[in-house]
Amino acid sequence: MASAGALFAVLAVLAHSLALPLPPGGMDTTLADHKRAVEYLSHYFLYNSKAGEHGFEEKLAEMQRYFRLTVTGHLNVDTMAMMKKPRCGMPDVADFTVFPGRPKWTTTSLTYRITNYTPDLPVTTVRQIIQRAFDVWAEVTPLSFRRVNSRNADIVIQFASGSHGDGLPFDGQGNVLAHAYAPGPGIGGDAHFDEDEKWTTTQLGTNLFLVAAHEFGHSLGLSHSEDPSALMYPFYAYVRTNNYHLPRDDVRGIQSLYGRRW
Ligand code: 0D3
Ligand code: ZN
């Protein structure tokens, strides 16, 4: 028969083995584990600790998915064990992707030609939008972009409906909005916009600036990203376009090909 003192001692040991107080991760991990997980996710999965507890759970789920662990979004023994394994020091995340063979332009001063204009917007507006869409990439790389009328422009831009000579016909309004080719000679780098979309400068219809900026990412060598906040995410979603700067994932992607600005 245990005395009250012995019972207390047992409880104290129990509490200790449970590492109370309970950390945010749950029952079977300690605060030290949580701290270690934050460091691990920050280094290898580019977790920003300012993202808070919800951001932590999302990053943790990403890490669990990556290592084929059970995806819970909570720290558990299996996840901690994976984090404690000796490993390569390079980060595991590169949400952005490039095309097979990493094609890229070999000059930093690129030219583009706009072969025809959408009737949806004034010519001067289209010209400004296209230049702005290039400039979001120029802002973070050594690249520069200049409009020319020459046939041998690097990047040829056109608006077209349905079949337009490249074997990839557009599909009427909605679905595919545009497409662009990876860097290279000939059709390489060219960007085609589906004229059946309603091209706009606003949230209504399809915002030409956002689609052009996305397509030029392809023209420069980026394929799609799995990061939903990336410009190179495969699905169009409107975001504010005044004072637009590239999302971090796209910056990392384009700089992996062309390096930084200075
Ligand atoms: C496309 O048409 C992309 C173009 C694109 C994607 C994201 C942001 C700007 C431009 C082809 S490279 N995507 C289709 C799309 O988003 C799937 N269609 C409209 C829609 O809402 N599903
Ligand atoms: Zn795309």
- Mean pLDDT over 191-196 rounds to 98
pLDDT tens per residue across span 197-237: 999 999 999 999 999 999 999 999 999 998 889 999 999 99
Confidence of residue 110 (pLDDT cuts 50, 70, 90): very high
Which residue's CA is minimally distant from atom 18 of ligand 1? 175
100 CA distance to ligand 1 centroid (A)?
Answer: 21
Q: Which residues line ligand 1 (CB under 6 A)?
A: 175-179, 210-211, 214, 234-236
**Are 239 and 210 contacting, i.e. CB atoms less than 8 angstroms apart?**
yes
Q: Which of 236, 238, 241, 246 to mutate to test the pocket of ligand 1 (most atoms within 8 A of CB)?
A: 236
Instruction: Please give the number of the atom of ligand 1 that sits closest to the Cα of 233.
Output: 7
237 Cα: distance to centroid of ligand 1 (angstroms): 8
* Among the bound ligands, the one closest to the CA of 228: 1
Helix, strand, coil percent content, the chain, rounded in steps of 5 = 35, 10, 55
Nearest ligand atom owner, CA of 212: 1
State the ligand closest to the CA atom of 233: 1
Pocket test for ligand 1, best of 168, 177, 216, 223 (most atoms within 8 A of CB): 177
pLDDT of residue 28: 62
CA of 105 to the centre of ligand 1 (A): 24
Percentage of the chain exceeding pLDDT 90: 66
Q: How many whole angstroms from 234 Cα to the centroid of ligand 1?
A: 6
Q: Tell me what the pLDDT averaged over the chain comes to.
A: 87
Topology at the third CATH level for domain 109-258: Collagenase (Catalytic Domain) (3.40.390)
Q: Please state the atom number of ligand 1 nearest to the C-alpha of residue 175.
A: 18
Q: Is 167 exposed, middle or buried (0-12, 13-18, 19+ CB in 10 A)?
A: exposed
Each domain of the chain, given as residue ranges in start order, spans 4-84, 109-258
Q: Where are the alpha helices (DSSP H) in the chain?
A: 4-17, 31-44, 52-66, 77-84, 123-138, 208-220, 248-258
Q: How confident is the model at residue 170 (pLDDT cuts 50, 70, 90)?
A: very high
Tokens of 225: 């990203």
Pick from 19-28, 56-65, 135-144, 160-169: least confident: 19-28
Which sequence positions are flagged as catalytic?
A: 215
pLDDT bin (cut points 50, 70, 90) of residue 25 is: very low
